[in-house]
Structure 1
């Protein structure tokens, strides 16, 4: 069976769009920086600086750091509280935990607000570990590297691992380590059409536990 379940966060367990988009809007307005593209779910998922580059259309480090500072102050103090749990997710995590699975989070979101969200939702009882790109020092640049470090540092057998996420990047991160992957489509899934033939797919939270149980190590 798949014993170790690694979850993406945004778009997989929580709808963070309301909180993140509000934070971006606040950052751009506060700094007087014009937006070069609309605030939409398309910018949810990548690392913060990468999203700010897309939204501003600029690579100026000073500007990006200024935007990031304002965003972090807002998001880390109150914005993160507006994240919405997808219906059925908490019950699903409890079910998997009680069934003996080991659960982990691997997200592009920064570690500090991620841990605050997990504690706020009282999910720390379910997860063995919470990982972000900046959990590691020096910080990693790709989700594929993060998944690899989790497997390596915890000595997890690849055949017993499963990554669960809502974006193409998540699936490619699993593929980089020959790990099975489930693409969930109740979140953002902006690139679900790019699903690879060997990936598994789940369209409803209530069906995920069954999908996982059907997979063999």
Structure 2
């Protein structure tokens, strides 16, 4: 049995390929609002919170503009757009295997809570997760992923030595480090981590099956 009883997962780029759906809704929002993006709307912008990404794409922090773009994105994504989200091959089997081994699974994501829950239900994964945390789960909104992981561990009384975080971006690994958690990079996603950039204490798995093997053998 794994010594890691609590497996915390990032969502976008780790469990799901959400890029086509997200990018389509960004483009739709800019078109609806007659706004011009100052940089390419491509996979490189996936990962940060919505407002941060919109500011990057718009090249502006004007609150009225960002609010309009955010409303347009939500209208598109939360109605139909999220349904285009695809699970990475093998992730469903990985989750079932880990949950079936008696491990507790949680989500800790920068994605908004509402579409996160919609996607988990759409993919039939809701039953696998004991806890689903997002930055906007709380008021005031949590400032970053490291704070969210800290809150999840504290709220659910999860000992740090029994938990591990899984993600696809450097931010994910840094957030794990900030909480004293081990980190494993899911290198099958579209995250920014490469083997050459990874600190020596981070580990990686190249497929969901390899991830499950690693976690269960730990």
Q: TM-score, normalised by structure 2?
A: 0.97
**Structure-1 separation of matches of 2:74 and 2:198:** 32
Instruction: Tell me which moved more, 14-23 or 31-40.
Output: 31-40
2:15 corresponds to: 13
**Structure-2 separation of matches of 1:42 and 1:159:** 33
**Structure-1 separation of matches of 2:7 and 2:124:** 18
In the TM superposition, residue 145 of structure 1 has moved relative to its aligned partner by 0.2
**Structure-2 separation of matches of 1:92 and 1:173:** 23
Report whether the alignment pairs 1:159 with 2:165: no
**Structure-1 separation of matches of 2:139 and 2:59:** 28
Q: How many residues align?
A: 215
- Secondary structure at the residue paired with 2:41? coil
Report whether the alignment pairs 1:2 with 2:4: yes
Instruction: Tell me which moved more, 187-196 or 45-54.
Output: 187-196
- Secondary structure at the residue paired with 1:183? strand
**Structure-1 separation of matches of 2:87 and 2:123:** 9
1:194 corresponds to: 197
1:121 corresponds to: 123
Following TM superposition, where does structure 1 have runs of at least 4 consecutive aligned residues deviating by more than 6 angstroms? none
Task: Answer whether contact 2:187 2:193 (CA < 8 A) is retained.
Answer: no
**Structure-1 separation of matches of 2:191 and 2:217:** 23
In the TM superposition, residue 210 of structure 1 has moved relative to its aligned partner by 1.1
**Structure-2 separation of matches of 1:37 and 1:208:** 34
In the TM superposition, residue 208 of structure 1 has moved relative to its aligned partner by 0.6
Match of 1:206 among 184, 206, 209: 209
Report whether the alignment pairs 1:29 with 2:24: no
1:1-58 CA-partner distances (Å, limit 9, x unpaired): 1000000000000000010000000001111111111111111110001000111111
In the TM superposition, residue 189 of structure 1 has moved relative to its aligned partner by 2.0
2:70 corresponds to: 68
Match of 1:136 among 132, 135, 138: 138
Instruction: Tell me which moved more, 63-72 or 117-126.
Output: 117-126
**Structure-2 separation of matches of 1:194 and 1:62:** 38
Q: TM-score, normalised by structure 1?
A: 0.97
2:185 corresponds to: 183
Q: Map 1:40-59 onto structure 2 (within 5 A).
A: 40-59=42-61
CA RMSD of aligned residues (A): 0.8
